Structure 1
Amino acid sequence: MKRVLIVDDAAVMRLTIRTILEKNGFEVAGDADCGKDGIAKYKELRPDIVTMDITMPGISGIEAVKEIIDFDPDARIIMLSAMGQEQFIMEAVKAGAKSFLVKPFNEEHMIQTFTKVLSK
């Protein structure tokens, strides 16, 4: 079972992602509500894949991606962004994110994205 770390400042979004992933056979290893905690939990938990919100208080998702990739160049990170944040998505991919999902996303597309990233 693939282990996932969810990093998002919105509790409702963390719960939504957790519900979809667990329903589809993923294990949620942990979650974090900010980039700083996301980095620490990545180092502690070493999940197979991470969902990372772009806009969070403190350290942005893009900065968190950079720090995680510096720690583990093989980290698999999927960025989550709201509509209209396309320029940030490109920054995140340049920083090392493997893919992205635009909110609101549907379950089927989310699982397809996870499967694709995990197969690389």
Structure 2
Amino acid sequence: MGKKVLVVDDASFMRIMLKDILKKNGFDVVAEAENGRTAVESYRELKPDAVTMDITMPEMNGIDAVREIRSIDSEARIVMVSAMGQQPMVIEAIRAGAVDYIVKPFQPERVVQALSRAME
């Protein structure tokens, strides 16, 4: 059984792409969430080893979700997934407790590297 990952993105095609990359590289995608609120609920329930978190989402954005998850679990390992040009938000996410970030469009190797490093 691989390391458990929660994939969070409001775009279903992005969740599918991430899930595919992760499964091919030995990770176990235990859940998906389409917004920050659902991500927090899923994290609380499943306690995954890591989370990939989009920044811009409806209901609750990724940065607020990071803060919320880190308040539940200060050891949470969250990797932000951001579009080009979101550097100020990435910095804010790191300050909120994210351990790394991946820029879209991403290379599969970068996704695997970021998650592997996050879980060390």
Provide TM-score, normalisation by structure 1.
Answer: 0.98
Secondary structure of the residue aligned to 1:9 is coil
Shift of 1:116: 1.0
- Structure 1 residue 114, shift from structure 2 partner: 1.1
CA distance in 1 between partners of 2:109 and 2:33 (Å): 24
Unaligned runs of 5+ in 1: none
The alignment status of 1:16 with 2:17, answered yes or no, reads: yes
Superposed counterparts of 1:1-120, under 5 Å: 1-119=2-120
Q: CA deviation at 1:109?
A: 1.4
CA displacement, residues 80-114 of structure 1 (integer Å, 9 cap, x when unaligned): 00000000000000000000000001011111111
Amino acid at match of 1:43: R
Amino acid at match of 1:18: K
Task: Give the alignment's Cα RMSD to 1 decimal.
Answer: 0.5
Structure 1 ranges of 4+ moved more than 3 A: none
How many residues in Structure 1 have an aligned counterpart in Structure 2?
119
Query: Percent of counterpart pairs with the same letter?
Result: 49
Distance 1:79 1:62 in 2: 9
